[in-house]
Amino acid sequence: MRIKSIVFVTLIFLIVPEELRSQDIQPQAVAQGQLDAYNNQDIEAFLSWYSDDVQVFNFPDEMIYKGKDKMRERYTNAWNQNPNQKAKVLNRIVNGNTVIDKEYVTGRANGIENHVIAIYKIENGKIRRVYFIRD
- Residue-wise pLDDT for 61-90, tens only, equals 999 999 999 999 999 999 999 999 999 999
> CA 77, CA 80: separation in Å to the nearest integer?
5
> CA 107, CA 91: separation in Å to the nearest integer?
20
The fold of the 24-134 domain, in CATH, is Nuclear Transport Factor 2; Chain: A, (3.10.450)
| 63 CA to centre of own chain | 17
**Minimal CA–CA distance to 98: which of 135, 72, 67, 59?**
59
Residues 6+ apart with CB under 8 A from 113: 104, 105, 106
Q: What is the pTM of this model?
A: 0.81
Note the pLDDT of residue 7: 43
- Confidence at 135, pLDDT banded by 50, 70, 90: confident
Structural domain boundaries in the chain: 24-134
